[in-house]
């Protein structure tokens, strides 16, 4: 855990005091082989399981089946560092998550597991969508076979075979031992007091090694900043962003510790100072609404004091996991000098220079591709994208206006449906148009191209509706139901004087563009990115 100031003696600050008071758990000072420690243990009885009323309603029988959840947390101070060992269902609830050292488990894993025996990987795409991918290979495989990009992704969980013979669990045995790592570390440690301290010291030694295994070094290219390491200035900048009506470089993402519960969440409980809300779905606007009501300098603080929890029922009565501080649901990108800083799960990360260089190189390759489409300039009298698209897609222009014409298919049947494109080009190119002033809209633009192509390739009703839509506007258009997309064009207008290159795209947008281009080209679709001249 984050050891705070050197010589800290009060281990109670590492406990979730509110949770302990709520359940009347006692905290008992103790020691482990002479090391100061705290012990917390207890259980929470439930007189009836939540499914009892459901069964009673279905059968008419009286059903009352109770149960009890138990847990334990042992905090030990070793050489000035504090370690928390948790047991049972409730153990993790007893810990103050704000005091957890971010990336502690990952830091150990990248230095202590075999790169060719990785069993499970969870990674988040560095984009405002907050997409999370989880992959499992029970027998393990080399890290490169998971297809993790050397850029654009944060590895949040890693599970693999341990390659360390100094720990108790591996000493004197030839059997394979696996560990699972995130912020925390799931590993068997010695049950002997002195042996436990030896294991904790070995874990600390491994974490302090200068470099990870070469094959896992790319994971370390996204480096968490310690509190105080430029974080005060970054927090101030983030507080300002939270006060702007335009979301700019902000996004919403499910904290990685809650990803496994997301599919079963029926509602969200949002608590910030002076407000409590329950929502069947969670979006960025709801979170920003809570921040906008606070004065400047207090917005980020309000989200840090508040929490968002996933609930198993529509009424928000049954939490699936401990609520997570509201600010940890926010993702953001801020430039600080020449560095790129990412706010992710309540922590600032600096994107390594090599990481950025690799991504920039790939983006420049995409942008350097030849352009076969020449769109008219975006002049000052065209106030917005709607006006520009109507002008570019006017009759006899060679382009067919499809902006805000939605395709509703069997698969895409929520809301209005999807947009195939903003403009259909002279050779039936799918052209998506955006003014590139904010990261989130550009990220959405690139994703929109992916979704549209997927629908048109695999859904006959999408093609039928597109053809009908095009023929309604341009009866002589050379298109029929055999149409398959061959080219996607992303047309981006920047402010006058700016050139479309990697440096003018935010990191979120670069990642989204790279991933969209890779996927589309994998489907045999050409991808072009063109700049719309502005005047």
3 state SS for 48-69:
CCCCHHHHHHHHCCCCCCCEEE
Q: Give the CA distances from residue 484 to residues 222, 412, 523, in Å, rounded to whole numbers and listed in that order.
A: 39, 18, 11
Tell me, letter by letter, the H, E, C secondary structure of 177-210: CEEEECCCEECCCCCCHHHHHHHHHHHHHHHCCC
CB-count exposure of residue 288 (10 Å: 0-12, 13-18, 19+): buried
pLDDT at res. 130: 60
State the pLDDT at residue 229. 63
Q: What is the pLDDT of residue 526?
A: 95
Scanning 265-383, the segments in alpha helix (DSSP H) are 284-292, 299-305, 353-367
What pLDDT is recorded for position 247?
Answer: 59
- The pLDDT, as a whole number, for residue 6 is 37
Radius of gyration of the chain (CA): 27
- Residue ranges in the chain modelled with pLDDT below 50: 4-8, 439-440
pLDDT of residue 7: 39
The average confidence (pLDDT) of the chain is: 87
- What counts of helices (H) and strands (E) characterise the chain? 13, 25
Residue pLDDT, tens place only, 411-427: 777 667 788 999 999 99
Please list, residue by residue across 387-421, b when 16 or more beta carbons sit within 10 angstroms of its beta carbon and e when fewer do. Answer: ebbebbbeeeeebbbbbebebebeebeeeebbbbb
What is the pLDDT at residue 441? 56
> How far apart are the C-alpha atoms of 146 and 139, rounded to whole Å?
13
List, for residues 181-190, the tens digit of each pLDDT value: 998 999 999 9
**Of the candidates 131, 123, 122, 155, which has an alpha carbon nearest to the alpha carbon of residue 450?**
131
pLDDT of residue 406: 86
């Amino acid at each position: 855990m984050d050891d705070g100031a050197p010589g800290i003696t009060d281990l109670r600050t590492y406990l979730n005091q509110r949770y302990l008071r709520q359940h009347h758990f006692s905290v008992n000072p103790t020691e482990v082989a002479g090391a100061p420690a705290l012990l917390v243990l207890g259980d929470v009885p439930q007189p009836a399981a939540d499914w009892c009323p459901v069964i009673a309603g279905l059968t008419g029988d009286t059903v009352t089946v109770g149960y009890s959840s138990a847990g334990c947390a042992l905090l030990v101070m070793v050489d000035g560092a504090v370690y928390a060992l948790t047991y049972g269902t409730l153990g993790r609830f007893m810990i103050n998550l704000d005091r957890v050292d971010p990336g502690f488990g990952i830091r150990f894993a990248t230095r202590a597991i075999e790169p060719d025996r990785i069993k499970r990987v969870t990674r988040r795409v560095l984009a405002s969508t907050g997409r999370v991918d989880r992959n499992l290979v029970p027998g393990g495989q080399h890290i490169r076979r998971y297809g993790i990009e050397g850029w654009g992704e944060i590895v949040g969980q890693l599970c693999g075979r341990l390659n360390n013979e100094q720990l108790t669990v591996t000493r004197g045995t030839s059997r394979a031992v696996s560990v699972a790592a995130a912020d925390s570390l799931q590993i068997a440690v010695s049950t002997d007091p002195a042996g436990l301290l030896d294991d904790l010291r070995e874990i600390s030694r491994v974490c302090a090694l200068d470099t990870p295994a070469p094959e896992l070094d790319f994971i370390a290219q996204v480096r968490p900043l310690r509190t105080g390491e430029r974080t005060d200035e970054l927090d101030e900048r983030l507080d300002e962003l939270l006060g702007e009506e335009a979301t700019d470089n902000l996004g919403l993402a499910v904290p990685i510790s809650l990803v496994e519960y997301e599919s079963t969440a029926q509602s969200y409980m949002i608590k910030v100072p002076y407000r409590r809300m329950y929502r069947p779905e969670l979006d960025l606007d709801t979170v920003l609404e809570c921040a906008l009501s606070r004065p400047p300098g207090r917005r980020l603080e309000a989200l840090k004091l508040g929490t968002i929890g996933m609930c198993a029922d529509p009424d928000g009565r049954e939490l699936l996991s401990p609520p997570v501080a509201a600010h940890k649901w926010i993702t953001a990108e801020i430039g600080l000098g020449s560095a790129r800083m990412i706010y992710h799960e309540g922590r600032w990360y600096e994107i390594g220079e090599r990481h950025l260089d690799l991504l920039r190189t790939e983006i420049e390759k995409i942008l350097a591709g030849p352009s076969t489409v020449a769109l008219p300039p975006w002049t000052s009298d065209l106030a917005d994208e709607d006006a520009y698209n109507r002008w570019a897609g006017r009759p006899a222009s060679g382009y067919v206006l499809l902006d805000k014409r939605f395709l509703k298919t069997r698969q895409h049947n929520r809301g209005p449906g999807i947009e195939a494109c903003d403009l259909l080009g002279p050779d039936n190119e799918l052209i998506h148009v955006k003014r590139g002033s904010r990261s989130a809209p550009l990220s959405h633009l690139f994703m929109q191209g992916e979704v549209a192509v997927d629908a048109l390739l695999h859904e006959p009703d999408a093609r039928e509706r597109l053809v009908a839509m095009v023929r309604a506007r341009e009866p002589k258009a050379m298109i029929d139901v055999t149409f398959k997309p061959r080219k996607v064009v992303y047309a981006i207008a920047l402010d006058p004087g700016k050139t479309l290159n990697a440096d003018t795209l935010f990191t979120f947008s670069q990642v989204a563009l790279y991933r969209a281009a890779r996927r589309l080209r994998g489907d045999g679709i050409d991808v072009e990115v063109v700049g719309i001249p502005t005047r």
